[in-house]
Amino acid sequence: MANMLVFITGASSGIGEATAMAFARQGTRLLLCARRADRLAKLEPELRSAGAADVKSFALDVRDRAAVNAALAQLPEDWKTIDILVNNAGLSRGMSKVQDEDNPENWEEMIDTNVKGLLYVTRSVLPGMVSRGRGHILNLGSTAGHMTYANGTVYCATKSAEIAVSEGLKLDLMGTPVRVTSIDPGIVETEFSEVRFRGDAARAAKVYEDLTPLKAADVADAIVWAATRPAHVNIHQILMTSIDQANSLVVNRRSS
């Protein structure tokens, strides 16, 4: 994979950061975006030290279609030939019943990021992959897209949509060598829950209490594995959890 160009959205922390590090160790060039440009800037030297051939990062909110199109159009020519796109940017907001949600902006942020943002970035990158005759799109899904859980209606809906988009893309791309993979992890210990609960660290910690969750590096390992299969092999989907999770509803919490 040396010198291949990998574009990762939401790369400033969690799975995105771990995926950047995993691809750096493969000697790839890394194109990274996130809303927090300061964190990307701090990450760049670490990625170079880990083996990245080169790193370029920029601030981007994938919810803004015009900004997505402009940012990618303005890239230098040698940063436009993206070989691998990891659509990692995503989030959840709150855990309320639909009838009790008093902030519908939570719904809009999840839909705009997890579904529309994924589509905006993919639409900007995919034509180049098709014309060059190579490429791989890896979309971050969730066990939540396979089984809906209480108080997570809209988040689960967005992850169900991600699975449908990934399946549809594979159909759209039949006859081309461009690959599509959905990576669907269960509970992963990252900033995800703090974001969901808007900085309530104590509440977020309870999500991971008395169980062994996945780590961001575990998911990054699966992403790199899927991307490094022979060019004729397409891994459609990886559904993964830790040993303490069976699905969205069943987890094993050990007594303290």
Active site residues: 155
Q: Alpha helices of the chain — where are they, by DSSP H?
A: 14-24, 37-50, 65-73, 105-111, 118-132, 153-172, 192-196, 201-207, 216-227
- Rounded distance, CA 157 to CA 27, Å? 36
Are 151 and 248 in contact by the 8 Å Cβ rule? The answer is: no
Minimal CA–CA distance to 139: which of 79, 219, 65? 219
CB atoms within 10 A of CB 233: 9
Identify the DSSP state of 249.
S
- Rounded distance, CA 126 to CA 103, Å? 34
CB atoms within 10 A of CB 139: 24
Q: Which residues contact 108 (CB under 8 A, 6 or more apart)?
A: none
In the structure encoding, which two tokens stand for residue 126, read together?
Answer: 């995919």
- Rounded distance, CA 141 to CA 132, Å? 27
Minimal CA–CA distance to 177: which of 221, 137, 140? 137
